[in-house]
Structures are given as structure tokens and as C-alpha cells.
């Protein structure tokens, strides 16, 4: 059985050689030295899912390093992995594995979104909001964005259409009460 395809060109398509030129530094840091970054792609975190992740982390540890960048105050800002960080706190860990990258704000936003898209656990509205932020931040066309994240241009276009829904309907999609497909049908009927 073959694995599901990963995202296309990823960050290198958005950031050029910035990811290759960045000096990766994998290490373990005190959990208290990390703080949430401003570019969180997700909405509010489900407490039950967070508790399940904390239980898994107690048993197996943090399996994927948290992506961080150095902050001016000596702490590290989380770019990707805030759920893992919060669950590690709940599991009462004192240190977590991290991957330190020296990203500017635009690179940090793109990296956080691409990491979450690769994990494929954003809801459709969060995905659409992330795509729109990348379009706005980097001036991308839908085609360029589709190549960068490895999704088809029609997928990007159809996902972005969800942003035209009233907020009440977008909340139903966020909460899982309405599928993205049904939400798009609402757009078509309007």
C-alpha cells in the first residue's frame, strides 16, 4: 500500500532558498522557554483531543520536534507544534525536542501553515484562512499557491470560496456540524 502523497514543493516554493540556507538546530529546550507565536493556523483547541495527545506524550514522548524561532527576549516562539507544546505541558514534561529556525515573520507564518497542512488536521475553514494569509502575505496566485502546497488549483479555489460564507455557517464547518462540501453547496444555492 502506498503512502498518501505529501505536499508539493512546500516551503522552498514560497521562500526560495531561505529554508535551505536556514541553519537547522535540533535540540531539547526547557518547556518554559517556549511561547506561542502569533501565526497559529488553528482556531481554539479541542480540550478532549489535547488530553488524548497529553496521554500519548506521557507514554511515548514528543515524537515530532516543535518548530521554533529565537525571540528577542531569549525565549523561543513556536512556529509549528503549539498543540504538542500544550499537551507536553499537560503531561508535565520539563523539556521538549525542538527544531530551531531563524525565520522572519513571513517565513514563520508560511512554515506554520505548511506544517499544519502537511499534518492534514486543519478544518476546511482554517485551511481557507491559511491559504488566504499566504496569498496576501506573498502575493501568490492560486496556481502558485497550489504548486507550493501540492494541492490542485481547483481545490485551492473551492476551499477559498468558504471564506464567502456568513460567519455563522463558517462556525458550523469549524465545529464539524457541516461538511465543507455541504457548505460549498450553500454558496452555490445563494
User: Annotated catalytic sites, by residue?
Assistant: 82
- Tell me the three cell numbers of residue 70: 529565537
Please check whether residue 106 is in contact with residue 138, taking contact to mean a CB–CB distance below 8 angstroms: yes
Please check whether residue 35 is in contact with residue 75, taking contact to mean a CB–CB distance below 8 angstroms: yes
Please check whether residue 111 is in contact with residue 11, taking contact to mean a CB–CB distance below 8 angstroms: yes
Instruction: Report the alpha-carbon distance of residue 109 to residue 121 in Å, rounded.
Output: 17
Please check whether residue 10 is in contact with residue 149, taking contact to mean a CB–CB distance below 8 angstroms: yes
Using the Cα atoms of residue 47, residue 37, residue 67 and residue 12 in order, give the sign of their dihedral. Answer: positive
Please check whether residue 110 is in contact with residue 80, taking contact to mean a CB–CB distance below 8 angstroms: no
Which of 14, 19, 25, 129 has the alpha carbon at shortest distance from 68?
25
- State which H helix or E strand residue 167 sits in: helix 167-174
* Through-space distance between the first and last CA atoms of the chain, rounded to whole angstroms: 42
Amino acid at each position: 500500500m502506498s503512502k498518501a502523497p505529501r505536499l508539493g514543493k512546500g516551503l522552498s516554493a514560497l521562500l526560495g532558498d531561505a529554508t535551505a540556507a536556514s541553519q537547522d538546530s535540533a535540540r531539547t529546550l526547557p518547556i518554559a522557554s517556549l511561547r506561542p507565536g502569533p501565526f497559529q493556523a488553528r482556531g481554539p483547541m479541542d480540550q478532549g483531543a489535547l488530553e488524548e495527545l497529553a496521554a500519548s506524550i506521557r507514554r511515548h514522548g514528543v515524537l515530532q520536534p516543535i518548530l521554533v524561532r529565537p525571540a528577542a527576549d531569549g525565549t523561543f516562539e513556536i512556529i509549528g507544534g503549539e498543540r504538542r507544546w500544550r499537551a507536553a505541558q499537560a503531561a508535565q514534561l520539563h523539556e521538549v525536542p525542538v527544531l530551531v529556525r531563524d525565520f522572519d515573520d513571513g517565513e514563520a507564518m508560511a512554515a506554520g501553515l505548511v506544517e499544519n497542512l502537511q499534518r492534514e488536521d486543519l478544518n476546511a475553514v482554517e485551511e481557507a484562512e491559511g491559504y488566504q494569509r499566504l496569498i496576501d502575505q506573498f502575493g501568490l496566485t492560486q496556481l502558485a499557491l497550489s504548486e507550493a502546497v501540492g494541492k490542485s488549483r481547483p481545490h485551492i479555489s473551492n476551499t477559498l470560496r468558504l471564506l464567502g460564507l456568513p460567519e455563522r455557517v463558517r462556525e458550523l464547518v469549524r465545529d464539524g456540524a457541516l461538511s465543507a462540501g455541504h457548505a460549498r453547496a450553500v454558496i452555490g444555492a445563494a
